[in-house]
Amino acid sequence: MTCPVPKEQQPLNEYIELKEAFFYRWAQQTRSQYLRVLSLMWLGFTVILSPVAMSFESPSRHLWQFLCVASISGSIALILPVLLLLSGWSHVKQRLDSAKIFYEESGWYDGQTWEKPEADLVKDRLLVAYEIKPVMTRLQKTLLGIIGFLILGFGTLNIFG
């Protein structure tokens, strides 16, 4: 039986498109590349949001508190792209893992459901297990790390503030 799902809505093609997309592909890079991109994003957010931190603490009088507030601001901002990454990878995981695929033939008003053949389902679930779950685990650990960093930042700010 041929697949009636349009090419751009087929889960495998959605996966390929996602992993090749500029924003989403960096979650699959090596650990050092991933951490470098993450650190650069955090640094960028911290610098961009430093004027906000200046409104709370003056860097000339309270440098340590200013650095803590700027770091906390950068970390809070970093949560948003990580959540976006997690959302995109989660969507593709759900589509590949599902035995039934919802698709639209020509618009939102004419949705259909197609049941995957068993062989396709097995292949898709292997792809989820070996390619997508490690990325999602990495992103979940990243979120936990950011939350830990925020707790540390707020704790440091309370101790020295």
Q: Contact, 94 vs 82, CB < 8 A?
A: no
pLDDT of 105 reads 77
Q: Contact, 116 vs 124, CB < 8 A?
A: yes
User: Rounded to whole angstroms, how far apart are CA atoms 38 and 105?
Assistant: 38
57 vs 8, residue with greater confidence: 8
Q: How confident is the model at residue 68 (pLDDT cuts 50, 70, 90)?
A: confident
- The token duo for 115 is 């049941």
Condensed to tens digits (0 to 9), the pLDDT of residues 7-31 reads 888 999 999 999 999 999 999 999 9
pLDDT of 60 reads 74
Instruction: Report which of 128, 116, 90 is spatially closest to residue 10, judged by C-alpha positions.
Output: 116
Instruction: Report which of 38, 47, 88, 106 is spatially closest to residue 71, judged by C-alpha positions.
Output: 47
CB-based contacts of 140: which residues, under 8 Å, 6+ apart?
Answer: 86
pLDDT of 120 reads 92
Is the pLDDT score of 161 beyond 60? no
Instruction: Report which of 160, 153, 132 is spatially closest to residue 19, judged by C-alpha positions.
Output: 132
Instruction: Give the bridge partners for 112, in sequence order.
Output: 103
Taking residues 84-89, what's their average pLDDT? 97
Tell me which amino acid residue 88 is: G
SS (H, E, C) 87-138: HHHHHHHHHHHCCEEEEECCCCCCEEEEECCHHHHHHHHHHHHHHHHHHHHH
pLDDT of 140 reads 97
User: Rounded to whole angstroms, how far apart are CA atoms 41 and 75?
Assistant: 9
Q: How confident is the model at residue 61 (pLDDT cuts 50, 70, 90)?
A: confident
pTM exceeding 0.85 = yes
Taking residues 96-125, what's their average pLDDT? 87
Interhelix angle for 11-20 vs 63-97, to 10°? 150
pLDDT of 56 reads 78
